Structure 1
Amino acid sequence: MSPTASEMETAPSEDALALSRRVHEASEGLILPAWQSEANMLALLRCLYEAGREDLAFARVLEGHIDAVQIVLTRGDAVQAGALNKALSQGAVLGVWNADLKDAPLRVQNGQLMGGKAFASGAGLLSHALVTLNGGDRANVQLLLLDLTATPPAIDRSWWDVAGMQESETHLVRWSGVPFDEAWKIGAPGDYEREPCFSGGALRFVAAHAGGIAGLFDRVRDHLLRTGRTESVQQTERLARLYRCADLSATTVRAVQSRWFQQSTEEKLASVAHARMSVADLAQEAILLAQQSVGAASFFRSGPLCKQMMDLSVYLRQPVPDAKVQEVGKAAANGLLVPGL
């Protein structure tokens, strides 16, 4: 079914504008790029953890904003970094859109920007998007920073019909016949997927996932207190196991951060892959425990738990999870991951 005119409308809603303001305010106190300092990196991860604990859709857009800002500041030149800092001071909110439309990948054709992106989180609320050309060709991926006010895409909102993360405004976007400007280029071809920041940057969304698990714990605990069910042996046992999931998730993220500055690139990537695998497993357990604790009430959309469960379930579906598990196994076999106390 083709999207209607209203679904293709590019004007942001009031909710989208409010989310944009929240993202800008939450990131204002961070020192970016954060990967150059242990304290700054921890502050960034804690920011995303607390965002996920509060609202995972908010955390998703915030994580994309932080990612885009760090990339421009590290891969762009001094003029581009200065322009970005000026835009940020005026409330700019960024995102990274790197998944091409299957039928129309983003490209430059006859001097014009054509095609689009899928899974474009924040579409309609971002001021700027960092997009990729030549997707799939790792050595030649070229980043472009687009001012979405000057070059607004058509937004197809009919596609994002999912059970969770609705408020992340994740849509299909498409450009047609926009004159290409060389000044949009950020860095050189291949800069985007340089390690350890590309794969290692997954630790940001893992921190948000860990916060999401803490949010499940908060909501289940509050429900049990409100309904007077904390004296139940079964309920206290489930709450204890849910706390275990939340605590282990946070500990896992913190452990990666604490070792980051002492590890080689290969060790960093293995540690992040392990954290992603571990937190995803703990999240699945936490979701089941939350459902068992609250019962049918956990599925009422108007309740405080349903949205957190559904958002976390969707947010966990990051690309190539099986490949990351295989990376962990290979790293363990090669001695990059060794258990110890």
Structure 2
Amino acid sequence: MNFPFESLKACLPELEAEASENDRDGSFPVAGLALIRSFGALSAALPKSLDGCGFGTDPGGATALMQLLRLTGEASLPLGRLLEGHINAIRLVARYGTPSQLRQLATHIRDGALCGIWVTETTNPVHILRNGTTLTLEGEKAFASGALHVTHPLITAETPDGETRMLIVPVDKNRKAAASIGGLCGMRGSGTGRFDFTGIGISPEAIIGAPGDYLRQPEFSAGAWRGMAVALGGIDRLVTLLRAQLIARGRDTNPYQRARIGEALIARETAALWTCKAALVSDDDVIPPADIAGTVNLARMAVERAGLDVIELTQRGLGLAAFIRTNVVERIMRDLATYLRQPAPDETLAEAAATFIRRDLPQP
């Protein structure tokens, strides 16, 4: 299966228009998701043996996956977030699940399933309750992207023995979910809400991998490169819009504006190089797990810094025009700033730096 990248590129304006429309009331990208599904984006991460493209699951598939996520993020960061979560779930099942579990998930995806990864706890975390041979869930997840639309979320839950397990939990239309997070300023079009799993029964087949697999390195840290690829797409779009709007206003010959454009291009290329390095390192089984995790964590910090720099350069370059709601730049800056806000940045940087105090970064 060859992925139609050119067809996806041709639809970027359409996807961007939907993202702007959905931002107004926090609507879910129904049309955009259907469009990228028609291109095969939702099955692209499945192994080639299961009629996928092997993006991120077969050896050598990281570069193409980076291109897919980057393009989707360029068109719509909320849609890119949903695609990245879907692919993340597939990747975890492929890595830690059984062949039977992966085949079953592939069947669901071909039948139209949307996966997601919901691991953020509320004050009522998810637990697995056992009553004889019956397993049921109790508790909630917060910041669940696509809370009303994901059909097969991968979640973490605590067992009666205090162990953390991963589960794929099919959910139906009778779900107990909040449609959105009230007051969220960016990524409003990703349908991020809360989901209550209380009372949902599961089978033993729903449990993926062994206790502690979700936090196992290098996968726990390495998977962050896929989010970087989506963010890189948002950075791409901001740089393009900065240049286009300065040209339209006849400000592109101003030396100070040219300096801003130059700095924005440097920041974008820095983000691209670090994301590519993280993707290649994560795809290399020879590199020690600690080095993979450390490299990806450094890349995560570099991409965050690049994104924030491009946002600031866009604001300074365009002035108050960048803050007008009808300017697509305003929405993309909010989406990108929200998307870049990942947990524990200081701890991540310190741990990554400690890994390479006495040795250099790996060269894939």
TM > 0.5 fold call: yes
1:202–1:272: 8 Å Cα contact kept in structure 2?
Answer: yes
1:107 counterpart (127, 130, 134) = 127
CA contact (8 A) 2:128 2:158 kept: no
CA spacing shift, 1:88–1:158, aligned 2, 3 Å: closer
Give the Cα–Cα distance (whole angstroms) in 1 for the partners of residues 32 and 224 of structure 2. Answer: 22
Q: Distance between the aligned counterparts of 1:163 and 1:54, measured in 2?
A: 19
Q: What SS does structure 1 have at the residue aligned with 2:93?
A: helix
2:34 is the alignment partner of 1:21? yes
Q: How does 1:285-324 map to 2 (within 5 A)?
A: 285-324=309-348
The one of 304, 317, 328 aligned to 2:352: 328
> Is residue 270–residue 336 contact of structure 1 (8 Å, CA) maintained in 2?
no
The Cα shift of 1:22 comes to 4.2
Q: Which residue of 2 aligns with 1:144?
A: 167
- d(CA) in 1 for partners of 2:352, 2:225: 15
Q: Report the CA distance between 1:286 and its aligned residue.
A: 0.8
State the 1:14 CA deviation.
7.4
CA contact 1:211–1:250 (8 Å) conserved in 2: no
Q: Is the Cα–Cα contact under 8 Å of residues 33 and 70 in structure 1 kept in the other structure?
A: no
1:208 alignment counterpart: 230
Q: Does 1:134 align with 2:147?
A: no
Between 1:104-113 and 1:308-317, the stretch displaced more is 104-113
Q: In the TM superposition, what is the alpha-carbon distance from 1:280 to its structure 2 partner? A: 0.9
Determine if the alignment matches structure 1 residue 78 to structure 2 residue 102.
no
Which blocks of at least 5 consecutive residues in structure 2 are unaligned? 1-25, 46-52
Q: Distance in 2 between matches of 1:251 and 1:207?
A: 11
* Structure 2 counterpart of 1:44, from 56, 65, 73: 65
| Matched residue, 1:241 | 263
SS at match of 2:166: strand
CA change 1:335–1:314 in 2 (3 A) is same
Structure 1 residue 226: deviation in Å?
2.1
- Distance in 1 between the 2:144 and 2:280 partners? 32
What is the aligned partner in structure 2 of residue 118 from structure 1?
142
* Residue aligning to 1:193: 215
- Matched to 1:335, the amino acid is R
Distance 1:114 1:258 in 2: 39
In 2 relative to 1, CA 181–259 (structure 1 residues): closer, same or farther, beyond 3 Å?
Answer: closer
Paired letter, 2:195: V
Q: Which residue of 2 aligns with 1:279?
A: 303
Which of 69, 82, 90 matches 1:69? 90
Does structure 1 retain, via aligned residues, the 8 Å contact 2:27–2:191?
A: no
Q: Check 1:219–1:19 CA distance in 2 against 1; reply closer, same or farther (3 A cut).
A: same
Provide the alpha-carbon RMSD of the alignment: 2.3
Q: Which amino acid aligns with 1:315?
A: Y
Q: Deviations over 1:34-55 (max 9, x none)?
A: 25422x1111112111122221
Q: Are positions 1:167 and 2:189 aligned together? A: yes
2: distance between equivalents of 1:153 and 1:171? 12
- Give 1:223's aligned amino acid: Q
Which of 254, 261, 275 is matched with 1:253 structurally?
Answer: 275
- Report the 3-state secondary structure (helix = DSSP H, G, I; strand = E; otherwise coil) of the residue aligned with 1:164: coil
Q: Which moved more, 1:238-247 or 1:153-162?
A: 153-162
Identity %: 29
Q: Which residue of 2 aligns with 1:154?
A: 176
Which residue does the alignment assign to 2:7? none
Task: Determine if contact 1:131/1:146 at 8 Å carries over to the other structure.
Answer: yes
Q: Which residue of 1 aligns with 2:109?
A: 88
Partner of 2:289: 265
Aligned length: 322
- How much does 1:259 deviate? 4.1
| 2:70–2:230 Cα contact (<8 Å) kept | yes
Counterparts of 1:168 and 1:157, CA distance in 2: 10
Q: For structure 1, which runs of at least 5 residues remain unmatched after alignment? A: 1-12
Residues 196/69 of structure 1: CA separation in 2 closer, same or farther (3 Å cut): same
Counterparts of 1:259 and 1:267, CA distance in 2: 9
Specify the code of the residue in structure 2 equivalent to 1:77: T
Q: Is the 8 A contact 2:293 2:352 kept in 1?
A: no
CA drift of 1:147 comes to 1.1
Question: What are the superposed Cα offsets for residues 23-81 of structure 1, whole Å, 9 maximum, x if unpaired?
Answer: 5343344434625422x111111211112222111111111000001112232223222
SS in structure 1 of the partner of residue 197 of structure 2: strand
